[in-house]
Amino acid sequence: MKRIINNFIYFLFIIEFALLVNSCKNDNEEDLKICDTTNVSYSSIKTIFDNNCVRCHNDQINNNDILLNTYENAKTAAESGLLYKAVNHLSGATPMPYQLPKLENCEVRKISIWIETNTPE
Ligand code: HEC
């Protein structure tokens, strides 16, 4: 009898463990990452443009006259209103990056905050 009880406790323990492991999983891993949106400036978001946009928006190739390779150029793109719409996939601009998935939520938020706070350098 004792053995049966022990086995039962062991069984409960396994179930408990399985539930615990499962509860820590999240379908949207991205939401769990911390997005630091304090002191957003061009220098803190430049790598987002460099990694995702500059290959199509530089001095040689500048689709729709959008250049994202320098502070001044990115500021001009922001002031046109197109940058905000393009990265947020809003109507009125072609969604960017071009024919690729939307940037990560955190990246979109940072670019949006940078524009909303008047493009600090
Ligand atoms: C693979 C090349 C490519 C990449 C990468 C790319 N773009 Fe573009 N971009 C284009 C093309 C092509 C257009 C012109 C689209 C059109 O006329 O419909 C464009 C246009 C734009 C426009 C103007 C949109 C409009 O409706 O006039 C903005 C703003 C822009 N891109 C921002 C970005 C940003 C920000 C990124 C990075 C997150 C990016 N692009 C990445 C090719 C690219």
Distance (Å, whole) CA 118 – CA 66: 18
What is the Å distance from ligand 1's center to 59 Cα? 14
Phi, psi of 110 (to 5 degrees): -65, -45
Report the pocket of ligand 1 as residue ranges, CB < 6 Å. 52-53, 55-57, 63-64, 66, 68, 77, 82-83, 86-87, 93-94, 96-98, 103
Amino acid at 40: V
Q: pLDDT per residue over 56-77, tens digit each?
A: 999 999 999 999 999 999 999 9
What is the Å distance from ligand 1's center to 30 Cα? 24
Q: pLDDT per residue over 72-121, tens digit each?
A: 999 999 999 999 999 999 999 999 999 999 999 999 999 999 999 999 99
